[in-house]
Amino acid sequence: MNMIRATSERSFTHWSNIIFKGRCTFSSSSTSTSSTSSDTTTTSSSAVTNERISKILSQFPTIKYGFAYGSGVIPQKGYNAGATSISLDKMPMIDLVFAVDNTLEWHKENIERNFHHYSFLAYMGEQSVNHVQKMAAKVYYNTLLKHEGIRYKYGVIEYGDLIDDLRNWDSLYVSGRMMKPILQLPNLADGGEHMSAVNRDSNLLYAISCAVLTLPSEFSEYELYHMISSISYMGDIRMRGGENPNKIHNIVVNNLESMRAIYMPLIKQHFGNNISIGHVDNTGLHHFIKVKIMIMIMSCRVVVVVSITNNVVVIHNSAVVSNLRKNLRGGKVHVEPQVVTKCIQDIVGRSSFTQSAKGVLTAGLTKSLEYIYLKLQKSSSK
């Protein structure tokens, strides 16, 4: 098995040395243009939203990095994020993710502060909570909470585990959320700059590559952002009835400017040889044309395939590597788009299923049923 791993790694290194000489590389460095324009998917927020989040954060132990996401903070069609004329009870729930240095120590302190946030697992101590934490997507959610009338839920993930998900697409559970506009939490420790750089230099570039692979030879700016936003939902069991079927459209249509600010600089910097930015239509949206297939384009496909599968031994037995090897023998660095899509579906499907099952433990049966009911109610009303 070690020989298989070594052979696979040497093969990929050989091809990467040949093809990674252009703009389609996924390095840890970036130019000043990308760092100033697209270093994060962070968006601006209203004073009302900032005030609500600050009140929530006042309860918790130290958070190294965090962000808010979803309809409670990011404008989505059909929702009232940040509105000032409606009551707190009618505002969408605020969704939060906290990245912390050590989840065991963090849960220990948080249980002391906020025992009521947890399910029955808190009675078993922080060791049990942390054991469940490390299952599936390595995120521990406390949900259906209220503080000073503000409804919210929060997920806790270890800082290093989030870095791994951004770089390797281990689960696409949190990294998928960071492909879309988010609101970075203010006044935290020094983890934000590093996390934003990893997100930009790995996660967002992989998202662009996968989206381009699945789109036709000509596509609109809306179609690109819609495809990117759909990555984290490919294979997600919640999309079979537990989520608003128009969710992806609602995210994109109200955040076109934010997504343009995130992705256009990266496209220009890294994909100039692969994508031609065409005309602007009467709606103000750009149109893109795929440049003829060159070795540089193919390099994107190889990087995406290897990166999203992460483990060489696992992908050695997968359809992705079989397809890649077959084409390499023919002198082509090529992977069919549907193979990449299937790979994403496998990652998301596996993590979403196990994370949803884990929710029964982290939320408890009563809250889990209530949460499912609210999701179904929201899904049927939008």
pTM: 0.77
Among 34, 16, 1, smallest CA distance to 271 is for 34
- Distance, in Å, from the CA atom of 159 to the CA atom of 165, rounded to the nearest integer, reads 10
Q: Tell me the pLDDT tens digit for each residue of 279-313.
A: 898 888 999 987 744 333 334 434 444 433 333 22
Q: Tell me the pLDDT tens digit for each residue of 173-205.
A: 999 999 999 999 977 767 788 999 999 988 998
Domain ranges of the chain: 37-189+199-288+347-381
- Distance, in Å, from the CA atom of 213 to the CA atom of 233, rounded to the nearest integer, reads 17
301 or 108: whose pLDDT is higher? 108
The encoded tokens of residue 277 equal: 């930015």
Q: Do residues 224 and 271 lie in contact, with contact meaning Cβ atoms separated by under 8 Å?
A: no
On the question of pLDDT at 105 being above 70, the answer is yes
- Distance, in Å, from the CA atom of 279 to the CA atom of 257, rounded to the nearest integer, reads 17
Give pLDDT, residue 333: 52
Q: Do residues 197 and 32 lie in contact, with contact meaning Cβ atoms separated by under 8 Å?
A: no
- Distance, in Å, from the CA atom of 48 to the CA atom of 82, rounded to the nearest integer, reads 6
- Taking each helix axis from N to C terminus, what angle separates 2-19 and 319-329, rounded to the nearest 10 degrees? 60
In terms of C-beta density within 10 A (0-12 exposed, 13-18 middle, 19 or more buried), how is residue 217 classed? Answer: exposed
CA dihedral over 280, 282, 285, 287, signed as positive or negative: negative
Instruction: State the amino acid at position 262 in one-letter form.
Output: I
pLDDT grade for 43, boundaries at 50, 70 and 90: low
Average pLDDT (340-345) is: 82
Give pLDDT, residue 230: 94
Q: Do residues 64 and 100 lie in contact, with contact meaning Cβ atoms separated by under 8 Å?
A: yes
